[in-house]
Structure 1
Amino acid sequence: MNQERAKERIATELDRSRHRSNGLTLDALDDEGLHAQHSPLMSPLVWDLAHVGNYEEQWLLRAAGGRQALRPDIDGLYDAFENPRSERVSLPLLDPVEAYRYNARVRREVLDVLSGAELGTAEETGDERSLLADGFVFHMVIQHEHMHDETMLSTHQLRRGAPVLLEPARGVRSLKPPVHEEVYVPPGSFTMGTDDDPWSFDNERPAREIHLDGYWIDTRPVTNAAYMDFIDDGGYENRRWWSKEGWKWRTGKKAFAPAFWTREAQGWSRRRFGRQEIVPPDEPVQHVSFHEAQAYAAWAGKRLPSEAEWEKAARWDPVAGTSHRYPWGDEEPGPRHANLGQRALGPGPAGRHPEGTSPLGVQQLIGDVWEWTSTTFHGYPGFDAFPYREYSEVFFDDGYKVLRGGSWATHPTAVRSTFRNWDHPVRRQIFSGFRCARNADET
C-alpha cells in the first residue's frame, strides 16, 4: 500500500473510532449518566471519552508529531496507571462538552500531522523501532480507542436502567453448524506470533516455530444450551470440577450461573443492555469467568486449550504449510467472515459465518466471544517492549489469563489470529466465552 492510500485508510479509521466513541457516550447518555460510576469495576464513561483524546494527543501530536502539549494539565487525570478505575469518579474530569471540544481539537492537529508524515516501511527506513514505520503509532492509537469502545460497552452492560443503545438487526447471514463437535489437530510445528504485521503489538512478537503434540479442539464455542446442562447437573455445587482458586471464587461470589442470568419459571433469562430476555440456547455462552470455563471443561471431560493450541487451530493451514493472519486467510474481516464491530449487541448462533472457518474446520474463532485459554499472560522469547512497557510487560506473569479471538464488540482493526487479550480470571463483565480441547490420547 502506497503512502497516500495508507494515510487515507488511517484517516478513515480514526474517524470511525471517534464516531463510535461519541455514539457510546455523548449520543447515548446525559451528563449525569456519563459522570456516574455504574460499577466500581469500570470508569465513568466521561473519563473514557477524554482519555482516548489524551492518549491520542500524547502519541500522535507529541511523540510522533513533535508538537507542544495542548493540555499537559490533564495528563495525570487520564493516566490509567495512576488512577484506579474505582477512584476516577472523584477526579476533576473534563465535562462532556469540554471533552468533546478537546478531542476535536486534538483530531484536527492529528490530521495535520498525518498529512506531513513519512510512513515508509521498516525496510525502507531501516528502523524497525520507528513510531511512524508502516504507520505503527497511528494503528496503535486507532486500536486503543476501539479497545476503550469495547470497555465502554462493558460499562453499558453493567449500567442499570432503560436501554439506550440502538439494537441493530440480528439477522443470520449464513448458518452451517459443524458436522463434528471437535476436530483433530495433528502433531507438528507452526509459526506462532508475527514479525511483520503492521497492526501488531509488542506482545504478538517475535514470531517463532512451535511444535505441539496432537490434540482435539471443539469446532465451535460452548453454547448456552451446553452450559445449561452443566448447571442442571449441579456443576456449581460440585467441588470436584473446580480448581482451588475457582472454588474459593465461586463460594465467595455465590455464583450459580453466568453473570446477568436469572432463573425463571420457564427457564433462564438474562439482562442485556437494559433488556430482559430468554437466554437463546444456540448462542455461545458469554460473561463467564476463567474459573467457570475451567470448571465446565473439567465436567465435560476436557480442558481449556493453551493459547498456542488456540492459535494453531486458528491460523495453521496444513495443505499450504503456512500460518495465516485470520482463520480464512489474509483477507481483512468482513460481515461474511465474523461477527465483529458491534454489528449486533451480542454473539450470533453457533454455526454462523461458515466462510470464516479455519482450514482445520474450526468455526467462530474470530468474533462473537473472547475465548479463555489456559495460558498465563507472558512475553514470548525475545520479547522487546515497544513503544512503552505499560501496554504489555507490566502485566506479564501476574496471574492474568490470555483470551483470544475477539468478541462481537471488538472492532475488526483490533483483532487477528495473533492478537492477545488478557484479564483477571475472575472477570465476567467482559464478553468472554470459551471452547474446550483435550489430549489426543483421551477418549
Structure 2
Amino acid sequence: MIAARLEQVRARSLAYTDADDELLVRQHSTLMSPLVWDLAHVGNYEELWVLRELAGVTPLRPEIDELYDAFAHPRRERPRLPLLPPAEARAYIAGVRGRVLDVLDAADLAAPDPMALDGYAFGLVLQHEHQHAETMLATLQLAGRPGLVGDGDLPPGRPGDAGEVLVPAGPFRVGTGACPWAYDNERPAHRVRLPAFWIDRFPVTNGAYLAFMEDGGYADPRWWSPAGWRWRAARKVRAPLFWAPDGGRWWRLRFGRAEPVPPDEPVQHVSWYEADAYARWAGRRLPTEAEWEKACGWDPDLGRARAHPWGDAEPGPGHANLGHRASRPAPVGAYPAGASAYGAEQMIGDVWEWTASWFEPYPGFRSFPYREYSEVFFGHTYRVLRGGSWATHPVAIRTTFRNWDYPSRRQIFAGFRCARSAAPEEV
C-alpha cells in the first residue's frame, strides 16, 4: 500500500512538471518557488528523512542540501540559486525513490523507533510531496498558461438556501492520538468544551460573496479589521484574486482560461482579511478552529471524533472533491453523503477554510520529528486553515489536519464559511 502511494504521488509531481524547461526554472511570483525547486526539494526531503534518518544511508548529494533547505533561502531568492536543471532533478529524485523502495521492502513497521512505527517516515514524505504538488498547482495557476492543467467532471449541486446547522454546547476532543501519520501540531488530543454555535452548512459561494462586493464591501472600512483595511488599501484590492470585470459581469482566470464566475461554487483565492470582512458584513464571524473541528468531525452519539466528516471510511468520489478530480471547487450541495454528524457539508475538499484562530500549539505539544515543521510558526503571525481543497490529496487531509498561512495570502485555494454564537433561546 505504501509503495503504491509513493508511486502515485511521484506520478503527480512529474505530471505537474511535464513542461518546457523555461516554465520550470522561471519564478512566476515571488510568493512561490520555481517549479524545478519544488521538484528536487521533495527528493531531498525524502533522502533526508527516509534514507538518512530512518535507514542510515550515506548521503547521496549532501552538497545540495543547503539549496533545498526551505529555511535557508526565502522563495524570492531561489531563482538565483544554482539549482539542479530539470533533467538532473528528475534523475536525482528517481535515484532517491529507488533506494527508498528498497528501504521500504526491508522495513519493520512495528519497530519501536517512532520514525519506523506504522511507516511514519514514509507517511511523512508522502504527505510532504502531496503538499508540494498542491503548491505546484498554485504556481501553475499564477503562471496562467492554458493547457498545462487538465480538468474533470464534478457532480451537480443542490440549489436553494442552505442556511446553518446547530452544534450544541458540550465537550469534545480536539486533535488526535489515533492517526499514525498525523503531524506534531495535531497532537496531543485534549478535551475542550464549547458553547453552542451555528455554522454554515456550506462554504460561502461566489454568488454570496458577489453580493458583498456589490454592496460596497471593499470600500467600507466598517467591515474590515484595521490590519485588513491597511492591506486592502495598499494593494487596491476590490475582488478575489484572478477575478476581473468585463461586459457587465465578473470573470475569473483559471489556469490561463477566462470564464464567467460560477455563482454556486465556493469562493476561493480570498485572504483571511477578505473572509473576515465578509463575515462582519453578513453579521457573522469566522469559526474558531475548535468550532470548525467539532462541526466537521465530532460524533456526539459515539462520543469520539471521526477520521472524516462522514465517518472513518476513506474518501470516495461521493464524499468530497479531493485529489484534483477537477481543477475547481464543486458547486455547493454536491456531496450530501459527505455531511458531518451535525449536517455541515463540504468541510473536506473544495476550498481550504480560514478560521478565526492563530496558529498556536496544543497543550502538551512536543516537536516531532523537527522543530521547523510547526514550532517555529507558532504565534500571532499565521491564521489557521482547515479542510483541504480540491487540489489536496486524501492522504494529506483529515478532520484534525491544521494548515496555516499569512492572513494576506490569496494564491492558495482558500475560501471560508461563517459561524455565530447561538442565543440561549436557540439552543
Q: Same fold (TM over 0.5)?
A: yes
Report sequence identity in percent.
59
| 1:65 and 1:113 in contact (8 A); partners too | yes
Counterpart position of 2:211? 229
Counterpart position of 1:279? 261
Q: What is the one-letter code of the residue matched to 1:11? A: A
| 1:190 and 1:316 in contact (8 A); partners too | yes
Matched, 1:255 2:233: no
Which residue of the other structure, out of 120, 134, 137, is the alignment partner of 2:118?
134
Counterpart position of 1:41? 31
Structure 2-normalised TM-score?
A: 0.98
RMSD: 1.3
3-state SS of 1:366 partner: coil
**Matches of 2:336 and 2:95 in 1, distance apart?**
43
Structure 2: runs of 5 or more not aligned: none
Matched, 1:160 2:150: no
**Matches of 2:266 and 2:162 in 1, distance apart?**
17
Counterpart position of 2:105? 115
Counterpart position of 1:6? none
Counterpart position of 1:3? none
**Matches of 2:162 and 2:105 in 1, distance apart?**
51
Which residue of the other structure, out of 35, 51, 68, is the alignment partner of 2:58?
68
Q: CA deviation at 1:418?
A: 0.2
**Which aligned pairs between 1:304-319 and structure 2 lie closer than 5 A?**
304-319=286-301
Which residue of the other structure, out of 414, 418, 424, is the alignment partner of 2:396?
414
Matched, 1:17 2:9: yes
Structure 1-normalised TM-score?
A: 0.94
Counterpart position of 2:246? 264
| 1:175 and 1:354 in contact (8 A); partners too | no
Counterpart position of 1:214? 196
3-state SS of 1:236 partner: helix
**Matches of 1:283 and 1:199 in 2, distance apart?**
31
| 1:344 and 1:408 in contact (8 A); partners too | yes
Counterpart position of 2:85? 95
**Matches of 2:160 and 2:264 in 1, distance apart?**
13
Q: CA deviation at 1:165?
A: 1.4
| 2:165 and 2:342 in contact (8 A); partners too | yes
Q: CA deviation at 1:179?
A: 7.0
**Matches of 2:150 and 2:40 in 1, distance apart?**
23
3-state SS of 2:10 partner: helix
Tell me: CA distance 1:71–1:244, structure 2 relative to 1, closer, same or farther (3 Å): same
Which residue of the other structure, out of 374, 377, 384, is the alignment partner of 1:392?
374
Per-residue CA deviations over 1:387-435 (Å, capped at 9, x if unaligned) read 0000000000041000000000000000000000000000000000000
**Matches of 2:105 and 2:281 in 1, distance apart?**
56
Tell me: CA distance 1:177–1:312, structure 2 relative to 1, closer, same or farther (3 Å): farther
**Matches of 2:154 and 2:348 in 1, distance apart?**
18
| 1:327 and 1:356 in contact (8 A); partners too | yes
Q: CA deviation at 1:316?
A: 1.3
Counterpart position of 2:283? 301
Per-residue CA deviations over 1:230-265 (Å, capped at 9, x if unaligned) read 000000000000000000000001000000000112
Q: What is the one-letter code of the residue matched to 2:9? A: S
**Matches of 2:364 and 2:119 in 1, distance apart?**
23
3-state SS of 2:192 partner: strand
Matched, 1:55 2:56: no
3-state SS of 1:392 partner: helix
Structure 1: runs of 5 or more not aligned: 1-8
**Matches of 1:324 and 1:251 in 2, distance apart?**
42
**Matches of 1:210 and 1:176 in 2, distance apart?**
34
3-state SS of 1:248 partner: helix
3-state SS of 2:8 partner: helix
3-state SS of 1:345 partner: coil
**Matches of 1:227 and 1:44 in 2, distance apart?**
32
Q: CA deviation at 1:130?
A: 1.4
| 2:198 and 2:421 in contact (8 A); partners too | yes
| 1:177 and 1:352 in contact (8 A); partners too | no
**Matches of 2:380 and 2:160 in 1, distance apart?**
37
Per-residue CA deviations over 1:43-97 (Å, capped at 9, x if unaligned) read 0000000000000001110101110000001000000000110000000011111
| 1:178 and 1:351 in contact (8 A); partners too | no
